[in-house]
Amino acid sequence: MGYKTDWFTGIFPALVTPFEGNGGVDEEAYRKLIRFVLPNVDGVVPCGTTGEFSYMSLEERKRTIELCLDEAGGRVPVLAGTGCTTTRDTVALTGWAKEAGADGALVVAPYFLKPSFNEVYDHFRAVDEVGLPIVMYNIPQCAGTHFKWWTAEGGLLDFEQTIGIKDSSGDLPFMEALFEKVKGKVSIFVGHDEVVQAALAAGADGAILASANLIPDIWQKVYRATQEGDLATAQRWQQDVQKLVRIVVRCGANQACKEGLRMMGVDVGDSRHPIVPGGAFRREDREELRLQLEALGKITKSPVMYDLGDKQVMTDLFATHHTPDTIDGWTMKVGEGFAGPPFQELAHVDLLIGLKDGPVGRAVERSLEEWGEDRGLRTISGHPQTLLVPTVTIRTDRQRELFERAAAGVKLAIDLSIEDGFLPEPILDDVALIVNAFVHPAASIGQRVEFNNYKATRHAIRKAIEGRPTVDELIKEKAAARHPFRYAP
């Protein structure tokens, strides 16, 4: 038997849902998001997991699906997320979506109470009777149930309206079993962003992805290259986005996608509670996501003025909504960075940047005169002048060796900040830096100490330059405020 439909193949973003501050869906932001992804996708999914469907009322879900149908305007199919915890509600919402004009429904297995396979079967049999094409949604990490291949072969995918399955388990052996048992009967979608190219090359018909909110064009390149047999190109693109998608998948996909979109100029707000900014998607994850978007060309450089008082310098920065048009206040700038795990090799950096003839420059000179290298202080760069200070007193040769690795990481962060424009060449002789770097006394992996200190310092430099976190950020993140060493022994 051939496919029941030719509509459901290719790249489908699991759209995030923009919310208004006082409740409800931000309709204009949602339309803007759909317009942003439409040129590079084969369909769209409102009210999926990334769309926070489980945090929405049924009325909000209906309105969101209506908006998506209207904005898509028939240009691509709309696969509406209609799964609920109960069979009754799932049937009702799926029936409503059919009447509203949805092309199909993405229906997650009933979640939370972990029904048996027979109960899952009966659930989907009831939904099938609605008469709307269904893509069954397997996400065991959220739903608590897993469509084992024998369940699929035993009838789940033979329902009249079942035209596909989305597998977000990341379980490639399970997906291979699906290809063995049901390939050619229904469409098989990969839903785990970290294994997209491998799944497509193995025979998946498409992908429904959280990260397709951010990089739909790149996923389209992966899909097209795989379809054309150019596996080398597809593999290269997967490798290029692998760190970005790892951050999204493992660090709170909803908020990660929303913050990434905001950095790219598409403001879709924040997730609903209990998800909060700075929680599952941590501040250090945000900084790493930004670097990945820059590397992929999703955040472009813009001119920014560095005003040092008696000297003005124009530079090009990877600017986001946080980046001021003019960066002044060079008496003293403060930044903080944190990177880890593992725990013993984590890095925490406090950083000061200021004019050499100001308080920071004088502090560098005074510190070297009064304490010097016998206390572990050392100058690691003269351009810009940079003083490295250990947080923990160095007492052993091993600690000294690891602090040298930390120094190498700090120096690399400074060099790359010069390269990307955050420390522009014309100001380097005018400013001084003090970097207070933490190396855990129990650390042992030198490479990790170096890498974590590089990441923490690079983030700290950007925060200092841009004046982050802002007051608004701090207020927004107060519910997730955590000191990195709060629970340290």
- The verdict on whether 137 is a catalytic residue reads yes
Angle at 281 between CA 276 and CA 282, to 5 degrees: 100
Beta bridge partners of 137: 108, 166
Give me the numbers of helices (H) and strands (E) for the chain, helices first please: 16, 15
Local structure of residue 23 (DSSP, 8 states): S
Beta bridge partners of 104: 79
Check the CA dihedral 467-471-474-477 and report its sign.
Answer: negative
Q: Pick from 321, 199, 330: which is nearest to 268 by CA?
A: 321
CA pair distance 270, 93, nearest whole angstrom: 25
Q: Pick from 81, 5, 91: which is nearest to 45 by CA?
A: 81
Catalytic residue among 137, 223, 306, 454: 137
- The verdict on whether 55 is a catalytic residue reads no
- In angstroms, the first-to-last Cα distance of the chain is 63
Look at the chain and count its residues: 489
CA pair distance 99, 20, nearest whole angstrom: 27
- List phi, psi (to 5°) of 185: -95, -40
CA pair distance 277, 255, nearest whole angstrom: 7
Place of tokens 């430099």: 461
Cα dist. 340→32, 272, 344, 453, 483 in Å? 36, 27, 9, 9, 14
Catalytic residue among 30, 62, 98, 166: 166
Active-site annotation, residues: 137, 166
